């Protein structure tokens, strides 16, 4: 057979042509659209034509039932009686389930704390906690029935805010963390200048456009197949298995794509998946839970709000000498991911700056509110907002341009390079980026001009600020930094790529396709990405921490490399050339002097009984972290960037407008510049929304009053900056050996929104002739800005 | 009398007689038709993921309107052709120019909002006056939320799509006109099923009679409010009577004594005429809801539901509008402000409905300023809406003043103490100070998620200051409003 194949692919055959040298084999041309070049989102054509399928769009299995939760209407109470008769009697209702119907563990704590019952037992711990589920033939019937429960409560004291939690003795959901280097108390007392203050930083609703959704279908002998809009299929699998009391090998979780995640489907997808699976288990029918938007917002966790107290010592030239910070966060009723989130706030409370003596302490406070969770940046942005407030304070105290304070305090290389967690910063480029951006966008001249024009504008004031970001890349829980992939080549030469990461719009699947295209020299139509499923790649980590492309990309590359090695070995032997003379190029596979088409090579290899499928695996090197000692190298590398924002504010109403934004961002050697710019633009707007118009309001009963887009306002089209320039840092490959020297780009650009906050603050500072730090809290809503303006007006103008 | 409705979905003709008053277009599309391209993002008309295109034949012209399918009832489609994202590709599979531009310019990330955007963009591209100005594009897309992209690539895609010379609907135009002509029916429809009754009068007389006979029925015009009673409050509507089908109520007339806006007129159609008379009112209307909401939500419905935070009433109260009510053959007229009695209570008797409002033409020397203040500039409910209308004599003395606010009380309300403080006074710093004090007497606002009592009081006074700055000659006229997108820097 081998001989026959060899004959078929003689140089006369259409599949084999003479090789023309189009570049050195060590630097082969990358196929158009391959990794490191731009390619459209793999689902773009499906998105625009409505053909992209989300959970609720899937054809419904015969007999499907709908699941709707019944939610607590008390923030903290003991359930005295639960009368569900009217619910059961309502039209279309099949059954009603409570925690008593859970066959396994009624627990969904993702960190094993057993502090998060799937369905409330005798106590409810927040307004919106699921107590029961209604299973009905029709979703509307189920929703109506869920309103009919008669529940009596004995109310217990409810702790809703950080201040209340502190007053009540600061119950924590997680161990507090302390990071320190040097002796901060001594350094503070010796510092020529010292100031302290506090900043309140608001939370944020994810507002993924596709709400939480899961569809569970029972199978043979306890099998359960779950389609879940989840960022973490493996965890969802484990949760379903232990809620149903069965081994993980009976549960398969699959997700093709999410309609947005942003961290809100890292753990929060588990509850809908488990409740759908519970319903499927009890009824023996497929069951779907798709949350109504209001239920979704009332039930699920959000970005943590913080109060950060800071004490800083510095000198007259704006050099920071010591920083002491306490970062307190409202975590909600259970731990969820609050521990690592608050830790990451500490990891970023230095932003890009070297603090010679430093101490950071965390307070992960327990409250009777939604259990706050992962959200793009995972606490990092809150730490950075606090760090930038400190910079601002120093700037006003010294009369320096805040940009100069920033430039004077960035991490050095070789000295001034140790973080509060004792990691050496080896790649500090924050100063270079800020300097380059300031020149590109004419920051200094514009700042001067704005200040001049503000002096004769009584009502409208403008401000400008340029802020950096340094964002640590890796899960701080070291064991999460692993990934798997599974790549198949079929005998027609088409390729299928599977990996453990999930697609939520960030373009991860596109990048994975591009890696295969580049490695095999194939066009996009020859490479197919499939849904993420625990059946193909097991034991995966959440697609989170910006790590999706870094981890899964290397795992995909590993799988491909294994197959390629087999193909090279085969081709070398088959065509009697050296292995080093086999190259996968856009025009085909160069085998010595011949060019063999990829399908021909694959077919020949198949007949020669070469395996055309491989798994791949990757674990991030170099990293470690010990929270007990507060020491380690939690991050493989840092991603950098800077943003300059110019805003106008209305002193009569507190309204703002973003007039211009310039961003320079470090994506390393970008895997896909077009997608990365999309991440930066979208991340910026989301960050700006968080710090300005997005306000979560709870009433005194702990009821979230901003539980729909009518009351919770995310940025709309006209909220984007009127002038918006985004560039990638050029010629900046990652110094670490990441996938094609790229850098993670999911979370870091979210932080660029901080420039907007600081620009608003700069505009407010005009009220006191730029002598006082406005100490603007977030979200800087019109009311917050007006209050700050009124406070500043009441202070003397020097 | 008909016992059914008729419409087209794409090329498919539907004649339905067994429908409930509450079935929404979105649920029907997704559940009955398995057209899942149209998404549910919020089920309250705020996110635009469910945007579909409704084509109507009006005065022998086709109108293409983006609407939120989640808060439109199925029966409202009577006589129309509905297009969803599934209808956009050409028969050969080619993408619509809007779709192609969204692909080319990376306008989608997670893709969930994308079908809704695409439909809003197609609707915009069908407007005769569609321009590539970013201000206009912002208005067209204000009702579509995207959490991923930050909008810039979508706006670029809109501009590119406008350059396309044709789309598939141009070739289908005559076919659509023929179809819709055949669907036009002067007969009132009356659908009675065990699930409820739907009355679709075609004239004001039929409406008057239907409502007099069934005064407990729910009147529905654009359903941008009633839709939420169903999707969020889970109410049933045993009997609905449509206002919007009454053709003689769907008109705008320049009458000798003012601008008449019939009860079936959506904001989108009244916007231009109102803006010509009262430019600031036009600016506020531009920000009411979104294109999808203004395409169906009516001026009179915004009054009829009696909301304390509707933006329309203060605009028209300040302008001196009168409300025209009818019950059977009995008609009466009252000053608009008198319609609002208390929270949730209006001066409307059983079986009585609004036929229209009459907005008097502004006097030549009328100063009219309207300021909407909200957390988000576009598509947000006002925390405060302040409207100031006054005339001055040659000495700068205020001769008449009508000041109305929304968001400051349980109803839209005139600031009578402030008006009294101003009339007869020269419009100067002293008058401003007096007015700022008087407005605190006029209102005792509540605190809620849109603003505290302090904020509302402070801003109400500050809006007087803004009005003063804008209506008084100063040596150097200060900037008083955030430029926003008024000037189009991108051209």
Tens digits of per-residue pLDDT, A222-239? Answer: 999 999 999 999 999 999
Of A43, A678, A787, the CB nearest to B111: A43
In chain B, residues 139-198 whose CB comes closer than 8 Å to chain A: 139, 141-142, 144-155
Of B47, B88, B89, the CB nearest to A209: B47
Residues of chain A contacting B119 with CB distance shorter than 8 Å: none
Catalytic residue chosen out of the listed positions A205, A393, A524, A747: A747
In angstroms, the CA B459 to CA A299 distance is 34
Confidence at B344, pLDDT banded by 50, 70, 90: very high
Contacts of B148 (CB under 8 A, 6+ apart): A260, A505, A678, A682, B108, B109, B110, B113
Mean pLDDT on B194-213: 97
Average pLDDT, chain B: 96
Q: What is the pLDDT of residues A98-129, one digit of tens each?
A: 999 999 999 999 999 999 999 999 999 999 99
CATH of domain A2-55+482-619: 3.30.365.10
In chain B, residues 195-254 whose CB comes closer than 8 Å to chain A: 232, 234
> A356 near A182, Cβ under 8 Å?
yes
Looking at CA atoms only, how far is residue A442 from chain B in angstroms? 18
In chain B, residues 42-61 whose CB comes closer than 8 Å to chain A: 42-44, 46-47, 49
Question: Between chains, do B47 and A674 touch, taking CB under 8 Å as contact?
Answer: no
Report the candidate in B65, B75, B70 with the shortest Cα–Cα distance to residue B26.
B70
Average pLDDT, chain A: 96
> A126 near A702, Cβ under 8 Å?
yes
Q: Does B386 touch chain A (CB under 8 A)?
A: no
Residues of chain B contacting A260 with CB distance shorter than 8 Å: 110, 112, 147-148
Q: What is the pLDDT of residues A330-351, one digit of tens each?
A: 999 999 999 999 999 999 999 9
What is the structure's pLDDT at A247?
A: 98
What is the structure's pLDDT at B185?
A: 86
Report the candidate in A26, A31, A25, A17 with the shortest Cα–Cα distance to residue A595.
A17
Question: Between chains, do B115 and A208 touch, taking CB under 8 Å as contact?
Answer: no
Q: At what angle do helices B152-162 and B134-141 cross, to 10 degrees?
A: 110
Question: Between chains, do B103 and A48 touch, taking CB under 8 Å as contact?
Answer: yes
What is the structure's pLDDT at B59?
A: 87
CATH class of A306-476+627-793: alpha beta
What is the structure's pLDDT at A231?
A: 98
Of B102, B110, B155, the CB nearest to A259: B110
Pairing, β A306-314 against β B258-262: unpaired
Question: Between chains, do B452 and A790 touch, taking CB under 8 Å as contact?
Answer: no
Mean pLDDT on A491-517: 98
Picking from B33, B68, B104, B111 by the largest number of A CB atoms within 10 A of its own CB, the best residue to mutate is B111
- Is pLDDT above 70 for A6? no
Q: What is the pLDDT of residues A731-757, one digit of tens each?
A: 999 999 999 999 999 999 999 999 999
Measured between its terminal Cα atoms, the distance across chain A in Å is 93
According to DSSP, residue B447 is labeled P
DSSP string, B148-176: SS-SHHHHHHHHHHHT-S--HHHHHHHHH
Mean pLDDT on B266-286: 96
In angstroms, the CA B325 to CA B329 distance is 10
What is the structure's pLDDT at A798?
A: 61
> B217 near B199, Cβ under 8 Å?
yes
CA B11 to chain centre: 29
Both tokens of A400, joined, read: 């320096």
- Is pLDDT above 60 for A1? no
Question: Between chains, do A209 and B41 touch, taking CB under 8 Å as contact?
Answer: yes
Looking at CA atoms only, how far is residue A627 from chain B in angstroms? 34
- Is pLDDT above 50 for B408? yes
* Cβ-based burial of B414 (10 A; exposed 0-12, middle 13-18, buried ≥19): buried
In chain B, residues 396-455 whose CB comes closer than 8 Å to chain A: 448-452, 454-455
Report the candidate in A524, A538, A460 with the shortest Cα–Cα distance to residue A494.
A524
Both tokens of A633, joined, read: 């190298």
Q: Does A769 touch chain B (CB under 8 A)?
A: no
Q: Does A723 touch chain B (CB under 8 A)?
A: yes
Q: Does B119 touch chain A (CB under 8 A)?
A: no
Examine the residue annotation and report whether A155 is marked as an active-site residue of this protein: no
Q: What is the ipTM of this complex?
A: 0.97
Confidence at B488, pLDDT banded by 50, 70, 90: very low
Of all residues in chain B, the one with the smallest CA distance to A294 is B42
Q: What is the pLDDT of residues A569-603, one digit of tens each?
A: 999 999 999 999 999 999 999 999 999 999 999 99
Question: Between chains, do A260 and B148 touch, taking CB under 8 Å as contact?
Answer: yes
In angstroms, the CA A370 to CA A372 distance is 6
Mean pLDDT on A70-78: 98
Confidence at A483, pLDDT banded by 50, 70, 90: very high
In angstroms, the CA B103 to CA B99 distance is 6
Looking at CA atoms only, how far is residue A589 from chain B in angstroms? 30
Mean pLDDT on A133-149: 97
Residues of chain A contacting B479 with CB distance shorter than 8 Å: 457, 459-460
Question: Between chains, do A209 and B112 touch, taking CB under 8 Å as contact?
Answer: yes
- Is pLDDT above 60 for A426? yes
In angstroms, the CA A334 to CA B352 distance is 54
Looking at CA atoms only, how far is residue B91 from chain A in angstroms? 13
Report the candidate in A720, A646, A651 with the shortest Cα–Cα distance to residue A448.
A646
Mean pLDDT on A442-471: 97
Instruction: Give the number of C-alpha atoms closer than 13 A to the C-alpha of residue B233, restricted to the C-beta side.
Output: 8
Q: What is the pLDDT of residues B427-486, one digit of tens each?
A: 999 999 999 999 999 999 999 999 999 999 999 999 999 999 999 988 888 999 996 555
- Is pLDDT above 80 for A24? no
Phi and psi torsions of B74, nearest 5°: -55, -40
Looking at CA atoms only, how far is residue A56 from chain B in angstroms? 8
Question: Between chains, do B115 and A652 touch, taking CB under 8 Å as contact?
Answer: no
Same fold, A61-157+206-299 and A306-476+627-793: yes
Contacts of A181 (CB under 8 A, 6+ apart): A355, A357, A358, A418, A420, A422
Mean pLDDT on B303-323: 96
Q: Does A335 touch chain B (CB under 8 A)?
A: no
Taken in order of first residue, the domains within chain B and their CATH numbers are 5-183 (3.10.20.30), 189-248 (3.30.43.10), 250-471 (3.30.390.50)
According to DSSP, residue B479 is labeled P
Q: Helices marked H in A42-116 — which ranges?
A: 44-49, 85-89
Q: What is the pLDDT of residues B139-170, one digit of tens each?
A: 999 999 999 999 999 999 999 999 998 899 99
In angstroms, the CA A761 to CA A792 distance is 11
What is the structure's pLDDT at A259?
A: 98
Q: What is the pLDDT of residues A640-689, one digit of tens each?
A: 999 999 999 999 999 999 999 999 999 999 999 999 999 999 999 999 99
What is the structure's pLDDT at A21?
A: 52
Q: What is the pLDDT of residues A623-638, one digit of tens each?
A: 999 999 999 999 999 9
What is the structure's pLDDT at A14?
A: 53
Confidence at B491, pLDDT banded by 50, 70, 90: very low
Q: Does A703 touch chain B (CB under 8 A)?
A: no
CATH class of A61-157+206-299: alpha beta
Show me where the domains of chain A are located: 2-55+482-619, 61-157+206-299, 306-476+627-793
DSSP string, B286-319: HTSS-HHHHHH-BHHHHHHT--TT-SHHHHHHHH
Confidence at A797, pLDDT banded by 50, 70, 90: low
- Is pLDDT above 90 for A4? no
Report the candidate in A780, A719, A599, A688 with the shortest Cα–Cα distance to residue A202.
A780
In angstroms, the CA A272 to CA B39 distance is 19
Q: At what angle do helices A673-691 and A754-765 cross, to 10 degrees?
A: 40
Mean pLDDT on A353-364: 98
**B275: alpha, beta or left, given left = phi > 0 and alpha = psi -120 to 50?**
alpha
Question: Between chains, do B482 and A655 touch, taking CB under 8 Å as contact?
Answer: yes
Of all residues in chain B, the one with the smallest CA distance to A210 is B41
Q: Does A50 touch chain B (CB under 8 A)?
A: yes
């Amino acid at each position: 057979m081998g001989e026959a194949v060899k004959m078929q692919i003689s140089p006369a055959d259409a599949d084999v042509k003479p090789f023309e040298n189009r570049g050195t084999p060590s630097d082969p041309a990358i196929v158009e659209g391959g990794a490191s070049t731009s390619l459209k989102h793999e689902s773009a054509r499906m998105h625009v034509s409505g053909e992209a399928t989300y959970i609720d769009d899937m054809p419904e299995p015969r007999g499907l039932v709908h699941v709707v939760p019944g939610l607590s209407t008390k923030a903290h109470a003991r359930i005295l009686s639960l009368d569900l008769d009217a619910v059961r009697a309502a039209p279309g209702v099949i059954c009603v389930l409570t925690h008593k119907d859970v066959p396994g563990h009624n627990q969904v704590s993702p960190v094993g704390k057993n502090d998060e019952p799937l369905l409330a037992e005798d106590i409810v711990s927040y307004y919106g906690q699921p107590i029961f589920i209604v299973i009905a033939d029709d979703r509307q019937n189920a929703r109506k029935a869920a309103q009919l429960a008669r529940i009596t409560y004995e109310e217990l004291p409810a702790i809703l805010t950080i201040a209340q939690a502190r007053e009540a003795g600061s119950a924590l959901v997680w161990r507090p963390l302390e990071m320190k280097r040097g002796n901060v108390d001594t350094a503070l007392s010796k510092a020529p200048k010292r100031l302290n203050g506090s900043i309140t930083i608001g939370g944020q609703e994810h507002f993924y456009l596709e709400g939480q959704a899961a569809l569970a279908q029972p199978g043979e002998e306890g099998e359960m197949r779950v389609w879940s809009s989840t960022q973490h299929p493996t965890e969802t699998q484990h949760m379903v298995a232990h809620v149903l009391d069965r081994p993980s090998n009976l549960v398969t979780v699959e997700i093709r794509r999410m309609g947005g995640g942003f961290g809100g489907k890292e753990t929060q997808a588990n509850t809908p998946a488990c409740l759908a699976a519970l319903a499927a288990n009890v009824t023996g029918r497929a069951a779907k839970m798709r949350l109504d938007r209001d239920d979704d917002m009332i039930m699920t966790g959000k970005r943590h709000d913080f109060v950060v107290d800071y004490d800083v010592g510095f000198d007259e030239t704006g050099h920071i000498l010591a920083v002491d910070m306490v970062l307190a966060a409202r975590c909600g009723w259970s731990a969820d991911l609050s521990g690592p989130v608050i830790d990451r706030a500490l990891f970023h409370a230095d932003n890009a700056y070297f603090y010679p003596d430093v101490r950071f302490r965390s307070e992960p406070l327990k409250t009777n509110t939604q259990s706050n969770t992962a959200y793009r940046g995972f606490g990092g942005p809150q730490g950075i907002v606090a760090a930038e407030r400190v910079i601002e304070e120093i700037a006003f105290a010294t009369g320096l341009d805040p940009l100069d304070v920033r430039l004077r305090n960035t991490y050095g290389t070789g000295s001034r390079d140790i973080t509060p967690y004792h990691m050496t910063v080896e790649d500090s480029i924050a100063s270079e980026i800020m300097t380059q951006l300031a020149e590109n966008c004419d920051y200094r001249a514009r700042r001067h001009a704005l200040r001049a024009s503000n002096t004769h504008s009584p009502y409208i004031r403008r401000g400008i600020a340029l802020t950096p970001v340094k964002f640590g890349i890796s899960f701080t829980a070291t064991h999460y930094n692993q990934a798997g992939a599974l790549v198949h080549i079929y005998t027609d030469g088409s390729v299928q790529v599977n990996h453990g990461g999930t697609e939520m719009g960030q373009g991860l699947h596109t990048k994975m396709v591009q890696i295969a295209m580049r490695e095999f020299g194939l066009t996009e139509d020859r490479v197919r990405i499939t849904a993420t499923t625990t059946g193909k790649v097991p034991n995966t980590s959440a697609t989170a921490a910006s790590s999706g492309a870094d981890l899964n990309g290397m795992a995909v590359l590993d799988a491909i490399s294994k197959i390629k090695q087999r193909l090279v070995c085969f081709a070398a032997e088959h065509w009697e050339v050296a292995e080093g003379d086999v190259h996968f190029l856009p025009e085909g596979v160069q085998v010595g002097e011949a060019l063999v088409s990829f399908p021909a090579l694959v077919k020949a290899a198949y007949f020669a009984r070469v395996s055309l499928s491989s798994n791949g695996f990757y674990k991030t090197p170099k990293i470690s972290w010990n929270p007990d000692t507060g020491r380690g190298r939690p991050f493989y590398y840092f991603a950098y960037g800077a943003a300059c924002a110019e805003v106008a504010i209305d002193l009569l109403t507190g309204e703002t407008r973003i007039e211009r934004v310039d961003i320079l961002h470090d994506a390393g050697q970008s895997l896909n510049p077009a997608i990365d710019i999309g991440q930066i633009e979208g991340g910026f707007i989301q960050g700006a929304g968080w710090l300005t118009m997005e306000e979560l309001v709870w009433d005194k009963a702990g009821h979230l009053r901003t539980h729909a887009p009518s009351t919770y306002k995310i940025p709309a089209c006209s909220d984007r900056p009127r002038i918006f320039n985004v560039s990638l840092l050029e010629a900046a490959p990652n110094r670490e050996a990441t996938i094609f020297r790229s850098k993670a780009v999911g979370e870091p650009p979210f932080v660029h929104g901080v420039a907007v906050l600081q620009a608003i603050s700069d505009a407010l500072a005009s009220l006191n002739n730029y002598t006082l730090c406005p100490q603007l809290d977030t979200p800087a809503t019109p009311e917050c800005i007006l209050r700050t303006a009124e406070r500043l007006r009441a202070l003397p103008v020097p | 009398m008909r016992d059914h409705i008729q419409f087209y979905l794409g090329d498919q003709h539907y004649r339905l007689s067994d429908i409930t008053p509450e079935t929404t277009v979105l649920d029907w599309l997704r559940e009955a038709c398995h057209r899942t391209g149209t998404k549910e993002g919020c089920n309250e008309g705020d996110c635009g993921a469910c945007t579909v295109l409704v084509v109507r034949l009006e005065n022998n012209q086709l109108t293409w309107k983006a609407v939120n399918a989640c808060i439109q009832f199925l029966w409202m489609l009577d006589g129309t052709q509905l297009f969803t994202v599934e209808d956009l590709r050409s028969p050969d599979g080619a993408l619509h120019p809007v779709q192609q531009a969204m692909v080319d310019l990376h306008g989608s990330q997670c893709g969930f909002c994308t079908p809704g955007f695409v439909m809003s963009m197609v609707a915009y591209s069908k407007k005769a006056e569609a321009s590539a100005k970013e201000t206009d594009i912002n208005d067209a897309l204000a009702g579509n939320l995207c959490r991923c992209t930050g909008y810039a690539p979508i706006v670029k895609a809109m501009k590119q799509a406008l350059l396309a010379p044709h789309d598939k609907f141009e070739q289908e135009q005559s076919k659509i006109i023929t179809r819709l002509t055949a669907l036009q029916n002067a007969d009132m429809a009356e659908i009675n099923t065990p699930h409820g009754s739907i009355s679709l009068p075609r004239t004001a007389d039929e409406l008057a009679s239907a409502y007099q006979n069934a005064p407990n029925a729910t009147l529905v015009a654009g359903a941008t409010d009633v839709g939420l009673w169903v999707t969020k409050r889970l109410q049933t509507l045993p009997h609905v009577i449509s206002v919007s089908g009454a053709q003689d109520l769907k008109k705008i007339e320049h009458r000798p004594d003012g601008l008449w806006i019939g009860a079936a007129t959506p904001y989108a159609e009244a916007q231009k005429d109102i803006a010509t008379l009262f430019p600031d009112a036009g600016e506020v209307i531009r920000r009411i809801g979104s294109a999808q909401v203004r395409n169906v939500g009516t001026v009179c419905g915004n009054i009829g539901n009696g909301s304390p935070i509707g933006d329309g009433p203060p605009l028209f109260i300040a302008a001196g509008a009168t409300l025209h009510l009818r019950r059977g053959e009995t008609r009466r007229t009252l000053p608009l402000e008198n319609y609002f009695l208390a929270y949730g209570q209006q001066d409307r008797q059983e079986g009585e409905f609004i036929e229209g409002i009459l907005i008097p033409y502004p006097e030549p020397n009328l100063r009219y300023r309207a300021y909407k203040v909200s957390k988000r500039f576009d598509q947000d409910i006002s925390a405060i809406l302040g409207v100031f209308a006054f005339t001055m004599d040659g000495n700068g003395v205020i001769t008449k003043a009508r000041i109305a606010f929304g968001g400051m009380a349980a109803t839209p309300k005139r600031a009578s103490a402030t008006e009294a403080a101003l009339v007869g006074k020269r419009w100067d710093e002293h008058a401003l100070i007096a007015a700022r004090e008087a407005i605190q007497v006029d209102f005792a606002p509540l605190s809620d998620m849109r603003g505290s009592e302090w904020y509302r009081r402070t801003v109400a006074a500050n809006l007087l200051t803004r009005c003063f700055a804008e209506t008084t000659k100063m040596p150097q006229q200060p900037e008083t409003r955030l430029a926003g997108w008024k000037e189009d820097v991108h051209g």
